């Protein structure tokens, strides 16, 4: 047997209705004239621009690729670690040995990435 609930009544306000706001300035048809601060043109730049092409060194693609490979290997190690934790959780709860492999891969990936970052920093000096 379904019980029907009455719909809640809408609240009626005892406040008088608010008059519409007149945003137009006297003698204009636009409520936001061009003289307003937000519409003004930005000031001219007070310094000379630097040409970035001449001052940036070309980065070695070898360093960039090493960073990418290290990141991918570390990501694979993380995924493999999560997989082993979820599928071998009984051994981990009993404090048995963690299966070898995923943490070592994760460490090698982070090590490759850190060496590539160090090489990039040493090349900039």
The position carrying tokens 């995923």 is: 102
pLDDT of residue 112: 95
Answer yes or no: are the C-beta atoms of 102 and 81 closer than 8 Å. Answer: yes
Beta carbons within 10 angstroms of residue 98's beta carbon? 14
Residues belonging to the chain: 125
Backbone angle region of 101, left / alpha / beta, with phi > 0 → left and psi within -120 to 50 → alpha: left
Note whether 66 and 115 are within 8 A (CB). Answer: yes
Domain spans of the chain, in order of start? 59-124
Q: How far apart are CA 85 and CA 75, in angstroms?
A: 15
Number of Cβ within a 10 Å radius of residue 102: 19
**Tens digit of pLDDT at every position of the chain (125 positions):** 566 666 666 666 677 777 666 666 666 666 665 666 665 666 677 777 666 554 445 667 889 999 999 999 999 999 998 998 888 777 766 666 666 788 899 999 999 999 999 998 887 66
pTM for the full predicted model: 0.50
Do 120 and 59 contact (CB within 8 A), yes or no?
yes
């Amino acid at each position: 047997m379904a019980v029907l609930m009455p719909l809640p009544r809408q609240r009626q306000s005892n406040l008088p209705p608010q008059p519409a706001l007149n945003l137009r300035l006297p003698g204009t048809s636009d409520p936001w004239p061009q003289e307003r601060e937000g519409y003004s043109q930005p000031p001219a730049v007070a310094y000379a621009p630097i040409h970035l092409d001449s001052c940036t060194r070309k980065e070695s693609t070898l360093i960039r690729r090493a960073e990418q490979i290290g990141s991918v290997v570390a990501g694979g190690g993380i995924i493999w670690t999560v997989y082993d934790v979820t599928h071998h959780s009984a051994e981990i709860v009993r404090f048995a040995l963690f299966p070898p492999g995923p943490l070592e891969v994760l460490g090698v990936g982070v090590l490759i990435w850190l060496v590539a970052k160090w090489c990039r920093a040493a090349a900039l000096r």
